[in-house]
Structure 1
Amino acid sequence: MSISIAYLGPPGTYAEAAALAYVRTLASEAVSQSLLCPYPSIAQTLKSLAQGETQLAVVPVENLIEGSVVTTLDMLWQLDKLQIQQALVLPIRHALLSRASTIEAIQTVYSHPQALAQCQGWLERFLPSVQLIPTNSTTEALQYLDKDYTAGAITSQRAAQLYKIPVLASAITDYPDNCTRFWVMGLQPSPGGSYTSLAFSVPANVPGALVKPLQVFASREINLSRIESRPTKRSLGEYLFFIDLEADASQSSIQATLSELAPHTEILKIFGSYSVVTVSSSDVLET
């Protein structure tokens, strides 16, 4: 049986590398016969899953340097029924690709905003005067290089191999341990694991509105590995709160916690429990 997996394309992106790593090392035998489907944005990637065009979707959610990928969080709140199946931590090793003869000849650098930000220190040191232009993905940036020999793109080493574009500089990420956490999303119930992700809005923007939900976790000694706020987009100063728990929602104690939490929220959404797997650098390069 073939399973379709949506990802932020075109081929050569880190999202594709995460999808391939999932297929090769983590998925069941059925998923190994998969069809990877590139989409031009994270929003369209997740919408394809919600609308039944694909059966899984792989999207970035958090980077070591730049933090949360807010589009992923916003779309997860907006689209119902999406469940996290797996988390993958992928090493990110950016390179500068160009058909220019030297780095000094580059006048413009294209890439996804996250990649540009993750290489900001390197760019300021070696290309302080270049124009930085954001694109929808790191691989989309490559389309400009064939026509403009003064342009460069920040993307993966794998993209250089796929599209046969010279690498002018490698290992240009500001922090050598840079990595991104990806979620494998599906419509099936989550399989369970050591982490649970959820989000909620509070009934009113009043003192203590957030303290009360957090006290539920504190009183039961449940560790929160992450908490993030996002605007509700209804009124200035209103926020949603995304939380990761170090616990499995199938446990009776966690179910009791969530039942106690619900009255302190306006809307509560549970995105599922899942395991987190770290993908090695060799797995990424072999894809």
Structure 2
Amino acid sequence: MAISIAYLGPSGTYTEAAALAYRNWLKTETEQEGLLCPYPSIAQTLRSVTARQADVAVVPVENSIQGNVASTLDTVWELDRLQIQHALVLPVEHALLSRAKSLADLETVYSHPQALGQCQKWLERLGAKVQLIPTNSTTEALRYLDKEPTAAAIASIRASQLYNLPILASNINDYPDNCTRFWVLGLSSSSNGSHISLAFSVPANVPGALVKPLSVFAEREINLTRIESRPTKRSLGEYLFFIDLEGNAEEPSTQAALKELTTYTEVLKIFGNYDILPMRLSKS
């Protein structure tokens, strides 16, 4: 039976490229087939798994230029039944698609907020007359191009090929080494890998409230690879802290650190112990 893989669609998004790469890994490593299922938002992609409409969800979590993907972190905290099965990192190369004859003709640029942010410096060269409008995905932005001859969209080269749209400019990332990390999440328990992702809130916003939770890892020389904060949405100045660390949940030092961590946190959620898969972009 094929595994259903939810992703942020429609076809042509960078998340679809990650889902295709994961599907190829599944077939090569486990001989399982994957069925790709597009959803219109990251939240709906993740909710499809908790509703058992899909087996796993592939979602972006962090970009090397723009940082964390807020909707992913917020929804994973909310849907705490989800467990990270794997992570993968893929390069991202943006192109400007348009039916306009030149950059000087442009009045509007559409794309996902992450893509707009990753090309911010390049977009500034177009001048203040060009309006930047966010969309739910890079591919959704393409639907404006046939209606608006002075519009452009930031999307992938693959999207240009899929939808037969001209590339007005290529490789428009602000920095050349642009890459995005994706999580593959499902409902299966995940407790044996090289990385652990977790999040917690602290009892009160007082001096040392964050230092004490972090010290449990420092004292055991456990390496933290990422720390992010997100508002709790309860009160101004209250935050959730998302942490990635290197370690296996079956190691005694890791178990001891996670156990001690509970004494310094209000709510602690462990999202999985998983491996980062070696990936290459799929051509199909």
What's the TM-score bracket when you normalise by the shorter of the two chains?
Answer: over 0.9
Aligned pairs for 1:1-287 within 5 A:
1-26=1-26, 28-31=29-32, 33-190=33-190, 192-280=192-280, 283-284=281-282, 286-287=283-284
Question: Structure 1 segments of 4 or more deviating over 2 A?
Answer: 25-31, 126-129, 277-280
The number of residue pairs the alignment matches comes to 283
Structure 2: state its 5+ residue gaps: none
Return the offset for 1:150: 0.9
Distance 1:30 1:4, change over 3 A: farther
Q: Which moved more, 1:248-257 or 1:224-233?
A: 248-257
Q: Structure 2 CA distance, aligned partners of 1:106 and 1:235?
A: 42
Return the offset for 1:183: 0.4
- State whether residues 202 and 267 of structure 2, in contact with CA within 8 Å, keep that contact through their aligned partners in structure 1: yes
- State whether residues 3 and 30 of structure 1, in contact with CA within 8 Å, keep that contact through their aligned partners in structure 2: no
3-state SS of the aligned residue for 1:114?
helix
Q: Structure 1 CA distance, aligned partners of 2:45 and 2:256?
A: 34
Q: Structure 1 CA distance, aligned partners of 2:144 and 2:278?
A: 33
Deviations 1:262-285 (A, max 9, x none): 1111111111111113434xx24x
Letter of the 2:12 counterpart? G
- State whether residues 85 and 191 of structure 1, in contact with CA within 8 Å, keep that contact through their aligned partners in structure 2: no
TM-score, scaled to structure 1? 0.95
TM-score, scaled to structure 2? 0.96
CA RMSD of aligned residues (A): 1.4
3-state SS of the aligned residue for 1:264?
coil
Q: Which moved more, 1:247-256 or 1:1-10?
A: 247-256
Q: Structure 1 CA distance, aligned partners of 2:262 and 2:21?
A: 36
- State whether residues 110 and 133 of structure 1, in contact with CA within 8 Å, keep that contact through their aligned partners in structure 2: yes
- State whether residues 191 and 250 of structure 2, in contact with CA within 8 Å, keep that contact through their aligned partners in structure 1: no
3-state SS of the aligned residue for 1:80?
coil
Return the offset for 1:3: 1.1
